[in-house]
Amino acid sequence: MSVMERPRDVVGGLLMAGIGAGFLLFGRELAMGTSFRMGPGYFPTILSVLMIALGLAMAAIAWRKPAEDLANERVPWRGIGLVVAPVLLFGFSLRGLGLLPILVLVLAGAWASRHATLRASLPLALAIAAFCSFLFIKGLGLPLPLLGPWVSPTYWVTATSPANPPAP
């Protein structure tokens, strides 16, 4: 087939493969180790190779798949916003809020789907937050607070006290 039928899917697959190749390229200086004694580059390398393979597979399938009615397809801005914004919020507020934003992240990601309900999303968010808290704090021993300093009332009292006037 010489004409690309679904260019958006092909470009998306190639973009995913390119991102995986970029991570593979930048992570090549990390020590690999072995499967029994993994180095810091072992897991990122495996994920990069999987991203490349998945991206190339997506592009190949989209190249061969016949075009459907593409005139009615619209960009799902709501879904994109509900997936990207919470991830950015989590990244920027991790030190101040701790692992608390995981609840918001999961709920917003679930609500990106039009089929999600609060009844199904809330237990999912609580379970994933509990799992991540256990994994990162207890399992991996990362120094992440469950509730960060921004959640503490003493943080806001000392930040606005006369001894510490706010910066102009």
Q: Whole-model pTM above 0.75?
A: no
108-111 contacts at long range (C-beta below 8 A, 24 or more positions apart): 108/82, 108/83, 109/82, 109/83, 111/82
Q: Where are the beta strands (DSSP E) in the chain?
A: none
* Tens of pLDDT, residue by residue, the chain (168 residues): 434 556 777 888 888 899 999 989 988 888 888 777 778 888 888 999 999 999 999 988 887 766 554 545 676 778 888 888 888 888 888 888 888 888 888 888 888 887 888 888 899 889 988 898 888 888 878 788 888 888 877 877 765 556 555 555
